[in-house]
Amino acid sequence: MPVIPRLLAVSRPSTRRFLPALAGGVLGGVAGGLVKAKWEQVYPPRPEDRTAPPEILLERAGVDPEDGSQVEQAGPPAIHYAFSVTAGTAYAVGAELVPGLRFASGIPYGLGMWGAFHLGLLPALRTAPTPPHQPTQEVWGEASGHIFYILTVEGVRWAVRRLLTGGAEEARAR
């Protein structure tokens, strides 16, 4: 079977374990979110004078960035981790259905997520520059951050699945 159809093949129902996938996705999403947040401290993805997309979205929702409220302080991290957990869970459950998502430890999924959001949705929402106007630091910082994120999610997903299934075989294509 050619490579692409094999990567997109659906798993055998007998090898699917959705509850461990949900648990691994949630835990992996939290862990991946922590790793990505730390990476952004080491390698900031945007100039300090530019507002982060979650803060722009909160301002558009009417949250005053200068009022010092708990919503303003907790809002950007809440958006960050909600996204991290949602994307991690989608990846883990998706990997049970389409095992090819795990190819290269999920890096194509992570880079696809980066492209969809940082090159597509965020510029469309005008919370980030359009791709030709993004500084190289931002492109590399965000892309590499998504790689570290998905490697963490995949590691946690794998460990949780093994722990909760007693080492049962991974979902495999039919």
Q: What is the pLDDT of residues 141-159, one digit of tens each?
A: 999 999 999 999 999 999 9
Question: If DSSP codes are grouped into helix, strand and coil, which group holds residue 23?
Answer: helix
The answer to the question of residue 75 being in a domain is: yes
**Of 165, 13, 1, 18, the residue nearest 89 (C-alpha):** 18
> Which residues make Cβ contacts (< 8 Å) with residue 100, sequence separation at least 6?
6, 7, 8, 9, 173
Other C-beta atoms lying within 10 Å of the C-beta of residue 116: 11
C-alpha pair distances (Å), 171 with each of 22, 48, 61, 63 = 14, 44, 42, 44
CA dist 156 and 23 (Å) reads 10
Q: Is the pLDDT of residue 174 over 60?
A: no
Q: In the prediction, which pLDDT does 12 show?
A: 86
**Of 173, 137, 158, 124, the residue nearest 27 (C-alpha):** 158
Q: Is the pLDDT of residue 73 over 80?
A: no
Note the pLDDT tens digit of each residue in 22-68: 999 999 999 999 999 999 999 998 888 888 898 888 888 887 766 66
The answer to the question of residue 81 being in a domain is: yes
The answer to the question of residue 47 being in a domain is: yes
The answer to the question of residue 6 being in a domain is: no
Question: If DSSP codes are grouped into helix, strand and coil, which group holds residue 151?
Answer: helix
The answer to the question of residue 7 being in a domain is: no
Query: What is the pLDDT confidence band of residue 76, given thresholds at 50, 70 and 90?
Result: confident
The answer to the question of residue 95 being in a domain is: yes
Q: The tokens of 46 are what? A: 């945007």
Q: In the prediction, which pLDDT does 62 show?
A: 82
Q: In the prediction, which pLDDT does 70 show?
A: 63
The answer to the question of residue 174 being in a domain is: no
Q: In the prediction, which pLDDT does 171 show?
A: 65
Beta bridge partners of 159: none
State the total domains in the chain. Answer: 1
The answer to the question of residue 113 being in a domain is: yes
Note the pLDDT tens digit of each residue in 86-144: 999 999 999 999 999 999 999 999 999 999 999 999 999 999 999 999 999 999 999 99
Structural domain boundaries, residue 36: 13-165
Burial of 53 from C-beta contacts in 10 A (0-12 / 13-18 / 19+): buried
